[in-house]
């Protein structure tokens, strides 16, 4: 039995459209890798040497400003594809936010495989367009929404994305989940201060919209209210 046969995200990952023979061929050029929290997988501006499917865990995509500060520009969840196929350099660093498992491919091997399998290229295009849509939505969030709307939108997205834990999407979004971000990282992602983030979390809790069992855990008590706040 190959690692693809036991992959918990096979039906949602980039390789979902491949038949068994093609899956076996892809399995021959890939390998599983465990990435511990804080460990980098890809470095910004380095040669693009690998791409990967996320199997478990959450990873952040970051870029650095001229003065050395880190900016989180994306987040990869289980079944997401990371890396830059058909590209020469990596546009962002990829670092594990939590302990994670990924299926890693040499970029050259993957590029060659994709050219030989149009269905995989089609999936890559679908993922690219979906990522473009998410980027446009994020620009709207950063440019037009106020602090309360940003926090509500962020929590709804976490609820949706962290619910996907098996071969098929879970039944509905997660009601309770652990944030892979610190409060400071939430602030950085949303363009807010950590004080504003803490105030907004406290307000949502006091209003009965969410519960905060611990520093990282969130439980959504009134999803309708959270949707209304998100605008």
At 166, list the tokens.
């098996």
Using only C-alpha atoms, the chain has a radius of gyration, in whole angstroms, of 19
Q: Counting beta carbons within 10 angstroms of the beta carbon of residue 96, is it exposed (0 to 12), middle (13 to 18) or buried (19 or more)?
A: buried
**Phi and psi at residue 35, to the nearest 5°:** -120, 120
As beta bridge partners, residue 52 has: 82, 104
- Find the DSSP H helices in 56-117: 107-116
Contacts 24+ apart (CB under 8 A), 110-119: 110/29, 110/51, 110/85, 111/85, 111/86, 113/25, 113/26, 113/29, 114/85, 114/86, 117/18, 117/22, 119/17, 119/18, 119/22
Encode burial over 139-177: b for 16+ CB neighbours within 10 A, e otherwise.
eebeeebebbebbbbbbbbbbebbbbeeeeeeeebbeeb
At 167, list the tokens.
């071969």
At 123, list the tokens.
């999936």
Confidence category of residue 2, pLDDT binned at 50, 70, 90? low
Compare 177 and 231 and report the one with higher pLDDT. Answer: 177
C-alpha span between 155 and 88 (Å, rounded) = 35
Task: Specify the residue for token string 């990873």.
Answer: 59
pLDDT at res. 11:
76
pLDDT at res. 72:
82
Compare 144 and 196 and report the one with higher pLDDT. Answer: 196
Does residue 200 surpass a pLDDT of 80?
A: yes
Confidence category of residue 191, pLDDT binned at 50, 70, 90? confident
Q: What is the mean pLDDT of the chain?
A: 86
Tens digits of residue pLDDT in 119-133: 888 888 887 888 778
Tens digits of residue pLDDT in 34-76: 999 999 999 998 888 999 999 999 999 888 888 877 888 888 8
pLDDT at res. 121:
81
The half-sphere exposure of 146 on its side-chain side, counting CA atoms within 13 A, is 4
């Amino acid at each position: 039995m190959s690692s693809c046969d036991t992959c918990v995200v096979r039906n949602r990952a980039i390789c979902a459209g491949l038949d068994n023979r093609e899956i076996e061929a892809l399995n021959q050029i890939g390998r599983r890798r465990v990435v511990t929290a804080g460990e980098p997988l890809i470095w910004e501006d380095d040669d693009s040497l690998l791409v990967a499917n996320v199997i478990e865990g959450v990873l952040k995509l970051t870029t650095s400003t001229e003065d050395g500060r880190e900016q989180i520009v994306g987040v990869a969840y289980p079944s997401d594809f990371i890396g830059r196929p058909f590209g020469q350099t990596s546009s962002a660093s990829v670092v594990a936010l939590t302990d994670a498992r990924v299926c890693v491919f040499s970029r050259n091997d993957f590029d060659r495989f994709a050219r030989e399998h149009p269905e995989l290229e089609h999936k890559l295009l679908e993922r690219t367009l979906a990522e473009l849509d998410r980027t446009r939505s994020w620009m709207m969030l950063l440019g037009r929404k106020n602090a309360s709307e940003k926090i509500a939108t962020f929590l709804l997205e976490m609820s949706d994305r962290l619910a996907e834990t098996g071969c098929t999407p879970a039944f509905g979004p997660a009601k309770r989940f652990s944030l892979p971000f610190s409060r400071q990282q939430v602030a950085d992602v949303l363009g807010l201060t950590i004080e504003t983030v803490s105030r907004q979390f406290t307000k949502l809790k006091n209003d009965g919209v969410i519960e905060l069992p611990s520093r990282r855990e969130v439980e959504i008590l009134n999803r309708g209210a959270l949707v209304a706040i998100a605008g």
